[in-house]
């Protein structure tokens, strides 16, 4: 491997369809070596007392009202806190919960700086693949995200399903079906293949592009590519995700850029 960058990959109960080896092999094609560290909580080996604190902070990072920016961690109520301790160690009740992405990242950063301070800095890149859905507050409300760059960089398999929009008619037809009390499964049949599902076999290959995006940002400071055919394009629609992050490749300009990186 020609690169000095050390990439560490962690998991936090991402979709079962995600195959980390596939991501590692993809990054290796561009000369990047990535180590699979497995489940983040297991790897970082926190004491039980610290785990409780982390669970409590994480619980305070849950967004209850998407129209209100979580400027400080919420004080968790007891019932929610107790159930959250278990949630750190399982994917239990993960669906339908939205976390503030920056708080989620800060909590993770706290764990990394406590356990592996010698591995922080620009020669290291920590990527967490999580099943948790997170968002960032912009334009007066939270928006779900697939990726949040930083330390660590977060990539959400649930965000991949929920954040990029489905075709416009999908929402129109869905509204009609709900109003008339009809079964929504018809809709899934109609649009299957036009958006990513929770345990979609396409997830690994799509997230290879997102992992490369995180690496690219770390190395160049450039988050996205403007080329609509490039796999580093900032897709807002599911159809774009399938077209470029799944089926597409790096454009020539990005490939050149990546080839000159040391
Ligand atoms: Zn490009």
Residue 251 CA to ligand 1 center (angstroms) comes to 4
Closest CA to 145 of 99, 186, 108, 185: 99
Residue 211 CA to ligand 1 center (angstroms) comes to 14
pLDDT tens for 148-162 read 999 999 999 999 999
Residue 223 CA to ligand 1 center (angstroms) comes to 10
Residues measured by CB to lie within 5 Å of ligand 1, the ion: 225, 227, 230, 232, 251, 254
Q: What was the pLDDT predicted at 77?
A: 65
User: Does residue 38 sit within a domain?
Assistant: yes
**Residues 51, 39: Cα–Cα separation, whole Å:** 14
pLDDT tens for 188-200 read 888 888 999 999 9
167 Cβ partners below 8 Å, 6+ apart? 191, 194, 195, 237, 238, 239
Confirm if 128 and 156 have CB atoms less than 8 A apart.
no
φ/ψ (deg, to 5) at 131: -90, -10
Number of domains the chain is built from: 1
pLDDT tens for 72-111 read 887 766 556 666 677 788 777 677 899 999 999 999 999 9
Residue 209 CA to ligand 1 center (angstroms) comes to 11
Closest CA to 253 of 215, 218, 225: 225
The sign of the torsion formed by the CA atoms of 210, 211, 213, 214 equals: positive
Residue 14 CA to ligand 1 center (angstroms) comes to 27
Q: What was the pLDDT predicted at 1?
A: 45
Note down the domain range covering 199.
Answer: 6-260
User: Does residue 88 sit within a domain?
Assistant: yes
Q: What was the pLDDT predicted at 74?
A: 79
Q: Please state whether beta strands 141-145 and 133-138 pair in parallel, antiparallel, or not at all (unpaired).
A: antiparallel
Residue 262 CA to ligand 1 center (angstroms) comes to 18
CATH code, 18 = 3.40.390.10
């Amino acid at each position: 491997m020609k690169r000095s960058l050390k990439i560490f990959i962690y998991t936090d109960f991402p979709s079962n369809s995600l195959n980390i080896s596939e991501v590692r092999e993809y990054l290796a094609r561009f000369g990047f070596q990535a180590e699979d560290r497995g489940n983040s909580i297991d790897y970082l080996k926190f004491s039980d007392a610290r785990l409780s604190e982390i669970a409590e902070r994480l619980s305070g990072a849950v967004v209850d009202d998407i129209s209100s920016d979580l400027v400080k961690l919420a004080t968790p109520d007891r019932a929610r806190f107790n159930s959250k301790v278990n949630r750190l160690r399982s994917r239990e009740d993960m669906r339908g919960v939205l976390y503030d992405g920056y708080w989620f990242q800060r909590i993770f950063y706290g764990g990394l700086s406590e356990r592996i301070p010698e591995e922080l800095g620009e020669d290291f890149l920590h990527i967490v693949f999580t099943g948790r859905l997170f968002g960032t507050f912009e334009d007066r409300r939270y928006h779900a995200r697939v990726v949040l760059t930083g330390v660590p960089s977060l990539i959400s398999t649930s965000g991949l399903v929920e954040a990029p929009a489905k075709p416009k008619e999908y929402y129109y037809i869905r509204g009609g079906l709900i109003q008339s009390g009809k079964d929504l499964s018809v809709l899934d049949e109609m649009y299957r293949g036009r958006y990513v599902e929770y345990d979609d076999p396409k997830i690994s290959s799509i997230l290879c592009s997102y992992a490369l995006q995180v690496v690219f940002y770390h190395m160049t400071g450039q988050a996205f590519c403007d080329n609509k055919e490039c796999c580093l394009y900032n897709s807002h629609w599911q159809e774009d995700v399938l077209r470029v992050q799944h089926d597409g490749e790096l454009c020539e300009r990005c490939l050149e850029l990546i080839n000159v990186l040391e």
